[in-house]
Structure 1
Amino acid sequence: MKTASLSLFTVLCSTSNAIPLQNRAKDKISSCGSDWMQIDDIKTNHDQIQRRGFNSAVDFFCDEAHDQTLGAGLYLSLATRVYINYGKDPKYYGINGYVYFEVYNKMNKGHVIDGAKCKGYLKELSKKDGKCYGSDNKDTKGGTWQVGDEDISYHAKAERTPPNFDSVDKTVVLKEAIKPLDESYRVPVPFPYYSFNDIVPIGCHIHNDYEKAQKPLYDAISAGCVSAEVDVWHRDGKLRVGHTSPGKATIQDMYINPLKALLEGTGSVFPKSPDQDFTLLVDIKSSNEMDKTWDTFVESLKPLREKGWLSYYKDGKFQKGKITVVASGNAPFDKINSNKDPERAIFFDATVQDSLDGRDKSNTYLASGDFGAAVGGSGTIKDSHLEKLKKQVKAAHDKGFRVRYWDGPDEDQWQQMIDECVDRINTDHPEKMPALDFKLNGGGCSL
C-alpha cells in the first residue's frame, strides 16, 4: 500500500510539471538540403556502371555509428560515396559525390546511437512524397531530422568533394561539423587521392573553359574521363593556366602536383583499372619565345618524369605509363623528338583531317580536329558527313592514334560518335556522361 501510494504521488508530481502531450515537440524534418541524390542504387551507362544511392549510404553510416556513445555538444560524422543527380534523370545525368552524415548531440548528457533508429530517421528524408522527396526522379535532397525538442539531430548533405577531416567511410567525433576540402586554384587541398578508388574509366575528354568547370582535374577523374586538357601561357618563367589569357594558377598548381599526390597515394589514376593511363593534353597558347616555353614545359613535367610515371618512346616502341602527355596548340612539332625532351615523353596532337605523313607512334598520340572544319556541319551528323568521319577515324587508328573532335555535334549525337569509333567524347559537362554506352562490356572499337 505504501509503495503504491508513493508511486501514485510520483506520477502526480511528474505529470503536474510536465508539458502537456499535445504541446510536446514532435520528431520532424526541420530542413532539406540543396542538391539532389538518387535514392536507390542504380546502373548507368546502359547498365554498365553501378551507382550508389542515398538509402544504401544511410545503411552504411548507421551500421558504423551503431552503439557509439556521443558526448554532449559533439558531432559524430562520416562521409561516404553517393550518386548526385542534381534533380535530373539519374540514368542520363549525375556524378559520383559524397553524402556527409552527422549526428549532433545538443543535450547536456551522452547519447547512445541506435543503428535501427538512425536508419529510420534518415530514411524519412527519402520517404516517398515526403518533404525532401523528388517525385519526378525519385531522389532526395537529404536534410535534417530533428529528434525531440532540440535534443538530437541527424543530418545528410550532398557534396561534390570529400570533407576536410579524415572521415571518408569511417566515423569521427568532433566539436564541429565536417566541411568540404579547401580549394586553392579550384583544386581540393590536399588533393583527395583516395576519392577515385571506385571510379570506372570511360572515353571522355574534359576541356576546361575555366568558367563552367569548378574543379577541373577533380571533376574529370570523378566522372571517369581518361583525358583532360589545360591551356597554358608562358609568363615569368612559369606555365600559367587560362583559356583566353594567363591566370594566377600554374600547371603545377592545378595538374602536376595533384597528379603526383594521386599517384603517390594509389599508384594509379584509376585504381579500379590500374592499366588505364590518363592523358594530359597541354594546349600551348603562347606564340612567342617558344624555346623558353618548351624548356619550361619540359621542366614542369620533372616531378612525374622522375617517378617513371610518364609514357615514353624507346627502342622502337611506345611504352605506356600512368600519364601520357600530349602537346597541342602552338606546340612546335619539330621539338617533339629533339634533345629538349631527351626521354621522348611528350607526344603530339595531330590534326585529324590533315595528312598524317611523318606522324607515327614515336611522336604522336592523338589526332584531333574542330568537328565543323574536319567533318562539316554542326549540331548533327549528316549522312553526307559520315563517310568523311569514318575515313578520318580509320586513318588515325591505322597509325595507332586516338581520335577526338571538339565543337562536336549536339549531345544526342554523342552515342553515334562512340559507335563510329571516336575514342574521346569532348565535353565541358561530365555530368552528362552517364547517358552513354562506352562499350565497357566489349564490342567497342576504341584503342
Structure 2
Amino acid sequence: MINVFRPHYDKPEPPPTVESLTRDVHLKPIHSHNDYWRQRPLLDALSHGCVSVEGDIWHFDHDYTVTDTTTSTTAQFRKSEVYVGHNRIFLHPENTLEHLYFDPIYKFLESANKKFSDPVSKDVPFSVFYNAPEIPLYFWLDFKTEGRDLYVQVQKRLERFIKHSYLGYYDNEAGQHKPGPLVITLTGNVPWELLEAEKTKRYVYGDCPLHKMLDASDEDMAKYARQCVFASASLEQLLGKEERSRAERSGLNKSQGETLKKYFERAHSVGIKTRIWGGVDWPIHVRDNHWQVLWELGCDLINADDLAAAANVF
C-alpha cells in the first residue's frame, strides 16, 4: 500500500451574511465610535449587536500621491473617491466609503429583501438585523473636509439606496419622518444650509447640538425636530470642564446625573434621540459606570471604542 500525503487545507470562510453576523445577537444601544479602526469595520459592530456605526470621511478636489520613503511605496488618492479614516496622514487608498460601508450595507439590505414570487407584506424594507428586521441601522458620517462638497459626494452615493427605499428620510411636504432600514446622520462639517434647502424629501439628517437644547426656543426645537433624529454633545459641553474632570475619577454623581437627564428629557420632548461623545475610556471601572448610568438616565446611544466590553455591560 502506498501512503499518499494529503496536506490539510482549511476551507475559506464564506462571505459574511446578515444571518451569520446577527442571528441570535441581541441588539444593544451601542454606537461604534471610529468604527473603521475595527479589525473588521462594520462587521464587528453588527456581530456585537451595535445599532449605530460611525465613520470619518474625506474628499479632495484633486488627485494626489503620498510616498512612504521607508518602504519606497507610493499611494494614489483620487478626486473621484470619498475616503474613510481618522486623519489625512493615515488614509489608505483602499479604504473608501463604498468599499468599507456602502457596498456591504447595500449587499446586506438586498439579501434581507429578497424578491418572492408571492410578495411578502411589509410596510418598510427589512434592515440588516436578522432577529429584528424592523430596527434600522444608524450610520453616521463625520465630515472632515469641506461640507458642501462632501454633501454632494454623499448624495451621489445614496442613489441606489433611495431607488430601493432603503433610506429613512424626512418628507418636507408631509412634515413627517419616514422610516427606513438605514438612517444616515451627518456630523462634523455639516452644511446645514443644504439640509434646509431640500424641499421635498431629505435622505440625510444632521447631528443637532444637544448642549444648546436647554436654552433653545420652541421654534428652534421644532427646527431641530425636522432636521435631526439624534442630538449629541461632549460630556464636557454638558457638565463643564470642572465637573467633567471630577467624573473622570469617581464616576457620575447624583448632581451630574440630574444635569444630564435634563438634556435627555429636553431632546426626547420633541422626539430626538441622544448620544454623548468625549466620555471616559479609563479607568475601566469608571468607564463602565458611565455607560451604565448614562443608559439609566435615558441616553439612547452609548459611545464605545471597546465593543466587546460595551456588549458585556449591556
Q: Which among 110, 132, 150 is matched to residue 264 of structure 1?
A: 110
Contact kept, 8 Å, 1:393 with 1:421, in 2: the verdict is yes
Distance 1:293 1:415 in 2: 35
Counterpart check, 1:307 vs 2:164: yes
TM-score, normalisation: structure 1: 0.54
Distance 1:352 1:302 in 2: 30
- Deviations along 1:303-357, one digit per CA (max 9) or x if unpaired, are 2111101001221211110000101000121211324x85211111111111351
Q: Which among 229, 236, 240 is matched to residue 365 of structure 1?
A: 229
Q: Which residue of 2 aligns with 1:348?
A: 206
Distance 1:260 1:342 in 2: 24
Which is helix-richer, 1 or 2? 2
Distance 2:13 2:306 in 1: 22
Shift of 1:419: 0.7
SS at match of 1:260: helix
Distance 1:327 1:265 in 2: 26
Distance 2:24 2:102 in 1: 22
Shift of 1:180: 4.0
TM-score, normalisation: structure 2: 0.75
Distance 1:224 1:373 in 2: 28
| CA radius of gyration, larger in | 1
Q: Which moved more, 1:346-355 or 1:375-384?
A: 375-384
AA aligned to 1:395 is R
Give the 3 Å change call, closer, same or farther, for CA 299–337 of structure 1 in structure 2: same
Which is strand-richer, 1 or 2? 1
Contact kept, 8 Å, 2:58 with 2:84, in 1: the verdict is yes
Shift of 1:298: 0.9
SS at match of 2:29: strand
- Deviations along 1:279-311, one digit per CA (max 9) or x if unpaired, are 001100103xx4332111111112211110100
**1:64-103 alignment to 2 at 5 Å?**
none
SS at match of 1:360: helix
Q: Which residue of 2 aligns with 1:201?
A: 27
Shift of 1:412: 2.7
Distance 1:373 1:313 in 2: 28
**1:5-16 alignment to 2 at 5 Å?**
none
Contact kept, 8 Å, 2:28 with 2:311, in 1: the verdict is no
Distance 1:192 1:374 in 2: 39
Q: Which among 225, 230, 252 is matched to residue 381 of structure 1?
A: 252
Give the 3 Å change call, closer, same or farther, for CA 263–316 of structure 1 in structure 2: same
Q: Which residue of 2 aligns with 1:329?
A: 188
Q: Which among 234, 237, 249 is matched to residue 80 of structure 2?
A: 237
Distance 1:423 1:325 in 2: 16
Distance 1:241 1:419 in 2: 33
Distance 1:402 1:387 in 2: 18
Q: Which among 273, 278, 281 is matched to residue 402 of structure 1?
A: 273
Q: Work out which structure has the larger RCO, using CA pairs closer than 8 Å and 6 or more positions apart in sequence.
A: 2
Q: Which among 148, 152, 177 is matched to residue 10 of structure 2?
A: 177
AA aligned to 2:291 is W
Q: Which residue of 1 aligns with 2:99?
A: 253
> How large is the RMSD of aligned CA atoms in angstroms?
2.3
Q: Which among 42, 59, 66 is matched to residue 217 of structure 1?
A: 42
- Deviations along 1:24-65, one digit per CA (max 9) or x if unpaired, are xxxxxxxxxxxxxxxxxxxxxxxxxxxxxxxxxxxxxxxxxx
Q: Which residue of 1 aligns with 2:298?
A: 421
Contact kept, 8 Å, 1:370 with 1:407, in 2: the verdict is yes
Distance 1:316 1:342 in 2: 10
Contact kept, 8 Å, 2:36 with 2:84, in 1: the verdict is no
Structure 2, unaligned runs of 5 or more:
61-78, 114-126, 281-286
Q: Which residue of 2 aligns with 1:73?
A: none
Contact kept, 8 Å, 2:195 with 2:202, in 1: the verdict is yes
SS at match of 1:361: helix
Give the 3 Å change call, closer, same or farther, for CA 221–387 of structure 1 in structure 2: same
Q: Which residue of 1 aligns with 2:76?
A: none
AA aligned to 1:239 is V
Distance 1:202 1:383 in 2: 25
SS at match of 1:399: coil
Structure 1, unaligned runs of 5 or more:
1-106, 109-149, 152-173, 182-189, 438-447
